[in-house]
């Protein structure tokens, strides 16, 4: 079935957004299992001209399947209107040419986005996506070769490392202890992940985040250990669809400085503040397009 909303599926999948790892690619299709109304549904999506073509297997209606994909790929967002917005700003005008069809890749599971975003800090896309995939395979539920992300209570019980696993089980050899977070390559982030599960069990209700103002949501999420301003904004943008978020790191700082401040050395926090004020509800999309424009146009090499 075709959803008539333009998208570049591959670019959206590989763009490194911390909502989730890219879906499993086989030939020209991307597939994943998503819980829709608590029912496991396996989606298979592919590019059809400029649109998304999909099939699904699961006990839900076609309407619910379309609604799910509209959310994950942000297909209700009017890209043409956004491109008009870009064209009216000289600094942004070229971006739609280099990033045409790129959309937000939103999380069907906000908790997965939180853990993905924590794992992405000071990490490569390849490494954090492998960590999340490993966590899913170890402790998620399996459906025809696909795995859901484990829920909060399940992940809370997972051992941090081989030392803890060895000390709390009857394992006779520490080298056999593979059922722990560090075995998934999360490194120093393992205690952050455990603390996050504790906070979301005892103090923070993730289902309340979308009901908050951006400022309230930001102050809530940044309480999680391992979550700084950039990671918090990634969580709010990709996990909860707060479009005024403008995730800012050293690369976005360099790009914004080049485009707007004649290369002046300004702080990351000032860049974040500038992006939110300058772009408003388009901030999340502008940040996404800025980064990939810089990468694909050669600007990033110039700014190294």
How far apart CA 36 and CA 107 sit, in angstroms, is 12
What is d(CA 277, CA 283) in angstroms, rounded to the nearest whole number? Answer: 8
C-alpha of 134 from chain center: 16
Let me know: does 299 contact 293? Beta carbons within 8 Å: yes
Q: Which residues are designated catalytic?
A: 230
């Amino acid at each position: 079935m075709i959803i008539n909303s333009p998208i570049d599926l591959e670019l959206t999948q590989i763009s490194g957004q911390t909502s989730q790892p890219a879906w499993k690619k086989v030939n020209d299709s991307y597939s994943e299992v998503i819980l829709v109304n608590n029912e496991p549904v396996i989606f298979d999506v592919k590019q059809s001209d400029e649109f998304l073509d999909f099939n699904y297997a699961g006990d839900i209606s076609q309407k619910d399947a379309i609604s799910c994909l509209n959310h994950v790929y942000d297909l209700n967002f009017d890209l043409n209107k956004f491109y008009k917005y870009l064209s009216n700003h000289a600094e942004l005008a070229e971006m739609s040419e280099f990033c045409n069809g790129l959309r937000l890749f939103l999380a069907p599971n906000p908790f997965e986005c939180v853990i993905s975003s924590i794992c992405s800090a000071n990490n490569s896309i390849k490494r954090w996506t492998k960590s999340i995939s490993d966590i899913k395979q170890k402790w998620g539920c399996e459906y025809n070769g696909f795995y859901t992300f484990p829920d909060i209570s399940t992940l809370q019980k997972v051992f941090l490392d081989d030392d803890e696993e060895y000390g709390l089980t009857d394992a006779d050899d520490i080298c056999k202890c593979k059922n722990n977070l560090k075995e998934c390559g999360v490194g120093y982030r393992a205690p952050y992940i455990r603390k996050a599960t504790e906070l979301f069990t005892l103090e923070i209700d993730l289902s309340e985040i979308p009901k908050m103002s951006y400022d309230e949501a930001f102050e809530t999420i940044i309480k999680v250990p391992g979550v700084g301003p950039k990671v918090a904004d990634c969580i709010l943008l990709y996990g909860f669809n707060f479009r005024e978020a403008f995730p800012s790191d050293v690369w976005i700082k360099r790009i914004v400085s080049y485009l707007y401040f004649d290369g002046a050395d300004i702080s990351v926090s000032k860049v974040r503040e500038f992006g939110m004020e300058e772009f408003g509800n388009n901030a999340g999309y502008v940040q996404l397009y800025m980064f990939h424009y810089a990468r694909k146009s050669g600007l990033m090499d110039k700014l190294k």
